[in-house]
Chains A and B, each alone.
Chain A
Amino acid sequence: MAVVEKQKTNNPVGKSVPRNDVLEKVTGTAIYTDDIQFGPGLLHCRVVRSPYPHALIKKIDVSKALKLPGVKGVVTGDDFDEYIGLYLKDRHLFARGKVRFVGEPVAAVAATTEEIAEAAVELVEVEYEELEPVLDPEFGAQPGAPLIHPDLGSYERPNFIFPVAGTNISNHFKIRKGDTEAAWPQCAAIVEHTFRVPHVQHVPIEPHVAVAKMEENGQMTLWASTQSPFAQRALLAKTLHIPESDFRVIAPTIGGGFGCKAGVTMESIPCAVAMKFKGHPIKLRLTREEEFYTNFVRQGLVIHLKVGCDKDGNLLAFENRMYWDGGAYTEYGVNVTRAGGYSSTGPYDIPNVKTDSMCVYTNHPVGGAYRGFGMAELHTGVDQVMDMLAEKIGMDPVEFHKRNCVQGGDVLATGMVIHDVGIKECIDKVAQALDWGVKEPPSSPNKLRGKGIALAWKAPAMPPNAGSSALVKMNADGTVTVSVGGQEIGQGTFTAMAQIAAETLGVPYESVKVSGPIDTRYSPYEWQTVASRLTWSMGNAVRNAALDAKKKVLDMVAEAWNEDPKDLDIKDGYVISYKTEESISIKDIVVYGLPKPNDQGWIGGPVVGAGSFMPTYVTGLDAETGQGDRAVVHYTTGAEGVEIEVDKETGRITILRAACSFDVGKAINPALVKQQMEGGFVQGLSSALFEGMQLVGGVTRNPSFVDYRIATAADVPPEIDTFIVEHAQDDGPFGARGIGEHPLVPSIAAVAAALHDATGLRITNPPFSAEKVYLALLDAGLVE
């Protein structure tokens, strides 16, 4: 057999090296949570769920369920009285006294098979008394709306979340900058419009699954398909009164998350059941329908916008009133609301800003984190009003965007001074790729053709002190093992981390392995895999750990060679001396050390580098004005544009071509950055054209892929042009900042702008389904 020499990529940062998780995924050997075998002690769990959006629980009778052979037990809200919540602690593990959304867990059954557990669920008798539901966030925010959480005022919360006791408003974020009232009379053009963005679902290919086991000694282990093993450990340990060190979370390979596997979702249920049946692993798998009914959603938004500019198109004033449909509880909703608030202007420089961003309890599914964390919803409104205002003042949208977009040194609406950003270059690249300004003829008389562009920005939305840590272990064969606590959810973070470690250490990319699965017992701490923060934050931790390891190696060799470590370096896996031109392979010495001359002992020993990173400079914002020194760590900015055709026979939109450009600071792996741009654009396109949960009376009418349509390959343009812009991030590893979520953000507004360009109509509320477009054309007399 021929021996193929292994590829060696030195200095891999900035190179499109192949992903290091490809082989096991394409060959089907990767181990997902549902693949793990737990032996005959395994019990299956199914959940009794509320059929009502808002009701009192009068009585729960589990006696018939308990009599079913194979049923081990049933737990209800009576068994757990603690509150849980990532920010605002507002929910119980199982409903107590009251249900607040269709699908809310009321009880859970443990049985020897999934089928028996399901049969037992149907035997649990729950008596409800229906209450008037709140089904619209704007209505819910008004005085007199039914109160969903009468105890809101007493809930535990962090100091940056501002609930309004006695109302349904779980967070009210405000910005008061300049004086909008004084600015309106000076505007040459003003646009006011209201937009509605529907709830959407994440629909990862792998539904939620979790297995929990409590040992007789009280130690808990949770295997879960999760983006947040450490956050789950922290939240669940506290709620279940288990010491954090006795709570272990193992996070095997995950089949997509997009935010819905962040924080604690259904994992609390098997953990709660496991406490009652020590020694038995308890498994819960959600069906696709349960994903729709019971899991986090991208919450709906009603957004009222008013924006004005002077006669030259310079933005003068902006008012933004957002009602986020946070749903029955607010695991993430309150912070989406905060992020929507401090970023409420979009990437535009506006002197006078008034923002009210409110998270409102409704009897809808719980709002969670969804790729973009509020920014896609926000930009759906903001970028459309900007397009409208450009039209009103008679300015080309590209010129208007470039005139008003943020630049390094601008004072943002929160008072923060923004760093250098390359958004203008992004706009230029997108405009150029789409031949902006050239009106192309439609492909047939039955079509209308148009182009649209929209901008995006997003900051990592997280607590100010979200931290990362990493370990870099050197192996005797010259390879390196990197341990991290962030999850590979398809974005390619393990690849990027290997590149950063290899570049920093001076070894080939192929010599670095990133160890998985993440296991809170062995992996170093990571806050969560969210917020597009890993490349930047975990990347810094990995770089610091690699620097630490490198220093240890060089110190050891310097001592052995009697040289100054400053004259040494590691290149291609060899320690070299710039002074003496000596070199030695790092193999063996990074574990066994180096002998002193004449058999006089040894130097060094096994090399392990440790590193961590936490931003320390984010400040609080004033509760009444939203003003502070630094609201966020940084912003990733960019632009997207599309050219579309609208079929006059059916109303169907075809995307002819698309262009995306983002300033990522530094592309650690350009191919992966481009894939994020393509994937994000497509997911955004899907929500622009197809996606939306049809909530009627609190019930999801389209809870499966039969009627919740997502874009397929056939719906996507054959080519998506992607352009990387690199204005370095001052505190990013090699200048990098995140790109995971941002490409999804402007898609809806870009399609809406193109739709207007093609038809002259403003169809403002997504999804822009064929039916909606056709009926709008018909009502406008554009078709018969």
Chain B
Amino acid sequence: MHNPHPGLPEIDYIKPATLEEASRFLASHAGEARPFMGGTDCIVRIRDGVWKTKYLVDVKGLDGTDGIRFEAGKGLTIGAAVPMNKVAAHPDVQKHYPVLVEACHWVASYQLRSRATIVGNICNASPAGDTIGACMLLGGVLRVFGPDGMRDEPLNGFFKGPGKTNLKPGDIATALFLPLPPAGSVGRYIKLGRNRLGDLAIVGVTALGYPDASAASGFRFGIALASVAPVPLRASKAEEILAGKAIDEGVIAEAAQAAMDACTPIDDTRGSARYRKLMVRNLTRSALVDIWTKIRK
């Protein structure tokens, strides 16, 4: 039996004045200190006793963590401390990155999303993270301040395992940069939960497609899968199939099957591996058909 705490254990709350100070503290308290943004994951995990964190280092308000900035011709920068509801309501995000808005809407509940952040969702590195797929397919790059200063961490290759990323003690993700999506791109996020609201994904499928003359099919697709592997998973084989030959229903089915074959889900309380694999196939097919219907015109 997991005997939970009635409340939070004692934690020291640290409010550093600068990124440097925050980074130094985090680096010198490796294993004991965590950066704190929305808190929707870490407060729960500390209360459950899963994390034995002693220090929460509040990085909200530090350089670059605030605000949403859209630069025409370049892209979008989302500060690490910006809650999802603000991201989803931002007109530039709605106009240029609608798949991210769709993904945000599936995270927990409205109340939670007024605290939860996109960068937090990424750094938490849950294979079930709803917004991670969209950020990966959109070519997202994390801005990270570490002991050696600022650096960029592209999301492709960022995830190492459940809860494990390229981030090291002392690293603070300050913002996410999303380049402008390719012209004519259309995206979808389809999430399957046990019930319709507030559940974790049994399976989540993000897909993004756009015309690309350099591809044999004339189109290029990105597919990212949630909850079916130790990390958020790109279905590269399926992406290759869709780029490689003229797209029709059969090719979409072939790609969906390739996505299913690529994933390695487990049996858990939320669903069986067998069901998850089948749902990857069906939901990938649904997402691709939706996108294909729109971009082929």
Interface pair A650/B195, CB less than 8 Å apart: no
Contact status B195-A51, CB under 8 Å: no
State which size class the interface on B falls in. 20 to 34
Which residues of A are interface residues toward B (Cβ below 8 A)? 46, 49-51, 102-103, 114-115, 118, 121, 285, 287, 289-290, 293, 649-650, 652, 689-690, 694, 699, 701-703, 706-707, 709-715, 769-771, 774-775, 778
Q: Which chain A residues lie closer than 8 Å to B6 at the CB level?
A: 46, 114-115, 118, 285, 287
Q: How far is the CA of A774 from the CA of B275 in the complex (A)?
A: 8
Asked if A51 and B1 sit within 8 Å, CB to CB, the answer is yes
B279 touches A701 (CB 8 A): no
Q: Which residue of A lies closest to B109 (CB)?
A: A712
The answer to whether A771 touches B198, judged by C-beta atoms less than 8 angstroms apart, is no
Nearest chain-A residue to B270 (Cβ)? A707
Report whether B196 and A650 are in contact in the complex, using a CB–CB cutoff of 8 Å.
no
| C-alpha gap A703/B279 in the complex (Å) | 26
Contact B272 A694 (CB under 8 A): no
CB distance from B53 to the nearest CB of A (A): 16
Whole-angstrom distance from the CB of A202 to the nearest CB of chain B?
18
**B269 interface neighbour in A46, A694, A774, Cβ under 8 Å:** A694
| Contact mask for chain B residues 197-210; partner A; CB cutoff 8 A; 1 contact, 0 none | 11110100000000
Report the separation of the CA atoms of residues A50 and B199 in the bound assembly, to the nearest whole angstrom. Answer: 30
Partner of A115, one of B2, B3, B7, B196: B7
Expressed in whole angstroms, the Cα–Cα distance for A703 and B269 within the complex equals 11
Smallest Cβ distance from B113 to chain A, in angstroms? 15
Q: A649-B283, A707-B270 are in contact. Are A712 and B3 (CB under 8 A)?
A: no
Interchain CB contact under 8 A, B194 and A769? yes
Q: A287 and B4: CB pair below 8 A? A: yes
CA distance A114 to B195 in the complex (A): 35
Q: How long is the Cα–Cα vector from A689 to B275 in the complex, in angstroms?
A: 17
Provide the bound-state CA to CA distance between A677 and B192, in Å.
30
Contact A650 B192 (CB under 8 A): yes
Residues of A within 8 A of B282 (CB): 649-650
Cα–Cα, bound, A115→B192 (Å): 38
Shortest CB–CB separation between residue A290 and chain B, in angstroms?
A: 8
A706, B200: Cβ atoms under 8 Å? yes
Q: Which of A50, A711, A774 contacts B195 (CB 8 A)?
A: A711
Residue on A nearest B198 in the bound complex, by CB: A712
The answer to whether B195 touches A699, judged by C-beta atoms less than 8 angstroms apart, is no
- Give the complex CA separation of A730 and B10 in angstroms: 61
Q: Hey, which chain A residues are within 8 Å of B4, CB to CB? A: 287, 289-290
List 6 contacting pairs A-B, 8 Å CB cutoff, sorted by A: A115-B7, A118-B5, A649-B283, A770-B194, A771-B271, A774-B279
CB <8 Å contact, A712 and B195: yes
Say whether B197 contacts A770, CB under 8 Å.
no
Query: Is B9 part of the contact surface with A, judged by Cβ < 8 Å?
Result: yes
A689 touches B195 (CB 8 A): yes
Name the B residues within 8 Å of A706 (CB-CB).
200
The verdict on B274 contacting chain A, using a C-beta distance below 8 Å, is: yes
CB neighbours of B202 from chain A (8 A): 771
Query: How far apart are the CA atoms of A714 and B9 in the complex, in Å?
Result: 35
Per-residue A-contact encoding for B1-35, CB less than 8 Å = 1, 0 else: 11111110110000000000000000000000000
- Bound complex: CA A713 to CA B10 (Å): 36
- Decide: A103 and B1 in contact? CB cutoff 8 A: yes
Are B1 and A770 in touch, CB under 8 angstroms?
Answer: no
Contacts of B278 in A (CB 8 A): 774, 778
Question: Could you count the A-B residue pairs with CB atoms below 8 Å apart for me: how many are there?
Answer: 74
Chain B residues near A49: list those with CB within 8 A.
Answer: 1, 3
Q: Tell me whether B286 is interfacial, beta carbon within 8 Å.
A: yes
**Whole-angstrom distance between the alpha carbons of A715 and B194 in the complex?**
10
| Per-position binary interface string of chain B over residues 262-284, scored 1 when its CB falls under 8 Å from any chain A CB and 0 otherwise | 00000001111011001100110
Q: How far is the CA of A713 from the CA of B9 in the complex (A)?
A: 34
Which of these, A711, A715, A771, contacts B272 with CB under 8 Å?
Answer: A771
Q: Are B197 and A703 in contact (CB under 8 A)?
A: no
CB of B195 within 8 A of CB of A715, answer: yes
- The reply to whether A115 and B10 form a contact with Cβ atoms under 8 Å apart is yes
A770 touches B196 (CB 8 A): no
Query: Which A residue sits closest to B279, measured CB to CB?
Result: A650
Q: How far is the CA of A709 from the CA of B192 in the complex (A)?
A: 14
Report the separation of the CA atoms of residues A13 and B198 in the bound assembly, to the nearest whole angstrom: 41
The complex places the Cα of A712 from the Cα of B274 at a distance, in Å, of 27
B269 touches A771 (CB 8 A): no
Q: State the CA gap A114–B9 with chains docked (Å).
A: 10
> In the complex, how many angstroms separate the beta carbon of B280 from the nearest chain A beta carbon?
12
Give the distance in Å from the alpha carbon of A739 to the alpha carbon of B275 in the complex.
40
| B196 adjacent to A712 (CB under 8 Å) | yes
> In the complex, A289→B7 CA distance in Å?
12
Q: Is the CB of A709 within 8 A of B269?
A: no
Say whether A771 contacts B275, CB under 8 Å. Answer: yes
* A701 to B1 Cα, complex, angstroms: 9
Closest to A52 in B: B1
Contact A703 B5 (CB under 8 A): no
**Nearest A residue to B286 by beta-carbon distance?**
A649
What residue in chain A is nearest B10 (Cβ atoms)? A115
Can you add 8 more A-B contacts, CB < 8 Å, to A115-B9, A775-B275?
Answer: A49-B1, A115-B6, A287-B6, A650-B192, A707-B270, A709-B194, A714-B197, A771-B275
Bound CA span A650–B275, Å: 9
A690 touches B1 (CB 8 A): no
Kindly provide the distance from the CB of B150 to the nearest chain A CB, expressed in whole angstroms.
36
Give Cα distance in the complex from A699 to B202, angstroms: 22
- Least CB distance from B170 to A in Å reads 30
Could you say which residues of chain B place their CB within 8 Å of the CB of A769? Answer: 194
CA distance A709 to B195 in the complex (A): 7
Closest to B192 in A: A650
Smallest distance from the beta carbon of B276 to chain A beta carbons, Å? 9
Residue of B nearest to A769 (CB): B194
B183 to nearest A CB, angstroms? 31
Task: Tell me the complex Cα distance, A290–B2, Å.
Answer: 9
Residues of chain B contacted by A650 (CB below 8 angstroms): 192, 279, 282-283
Output the nearest chain B residue to A51 by Cβ-Cβ distance: B1
What distance in Å separates the Cβ of B87 from its nearest Cβ neighbour in chain A? 22
Contacts of B272 in A (CB 8 A): 771
A714/B279 contact (C-beta < 8 A), A703-B2, A771-B272 known: no
- Give bound CA distance, A775 to B278, whole Å: 9
Q: Which of B6, B192, B197, B200 has the most CB of A within 10 A?
A: B6
- Cα(A115)–Cα(B4), bound, Å: 12
**CA A251 – CA B270 in complex, angstroms?**
38
Q: How far is the CB of B265 from chain A (nearest CB, A)?
A: 12
Question: Contacts of B198 on A, CB cut-off 8 Å?
Answer: 712
* Closest A residue to B8 using CB positions: A115
Which 9 pairs across A and B sit closest by C-beta, in order of nearness? A714-B196, A714-B197, A712-B197, A771-B275, A289-B4, A649-B282, A709-B194, A707-B269, A709-B195
B48 to nearest A CB, angstroms? 9
In the complex, which residue of chain A has the Cβ closest to the Cβ of B285? Answer: A649
On chain B, the residues within 8 Å of A290 by CB distance are 4
Asked if residues B195 and A293 are in contact (CB atoms below 8 Å), the reply is no
Cβ–Cβ < 8 Å partners of A774 in chain B: 275, 278-279
A699: chain B residues within 8 A (beta carbon): 1
Residues of B within 8 A of A115 (CB): 6-7, 9-10
A residues within 8 A CB of B192?
650, 652, 770
Contact B269 A690 (CB under 8 A): no
CB distance B194 to A102 under 8 Å?
Answer: no
Complex CA gap A699/B3 in Å reads: 12
A205 CB to nearest chain B CB (Å): 15
Contact, CB under 8 Å: A715 / B2:
no
A701 near B269 (CB under 8 angstroms)?
yes
Contact A102 B197 (CB under 8 A): no
C-alpha gap A694/B123 in the complex (Å)? 31
Neighbouring A residues of B3 by C-beta, 8 Å: 49, 121, 289
Q: How far is the CA of A503 from the CA of B266 in the complex (A)?
A: 62
- Distance from A700 Cβ to chain B, minimum over Cβ atoms (Å): 8
Contacts of A103 in B (CB 8 A): 1
Given known contacts A285-B6, A707-B269, A774-B275, A690 and B283 CB-to-CB distance under 8 angstroms: no
Nearest Cβ on chain A to B80's Cβ, whole angstroms: 25
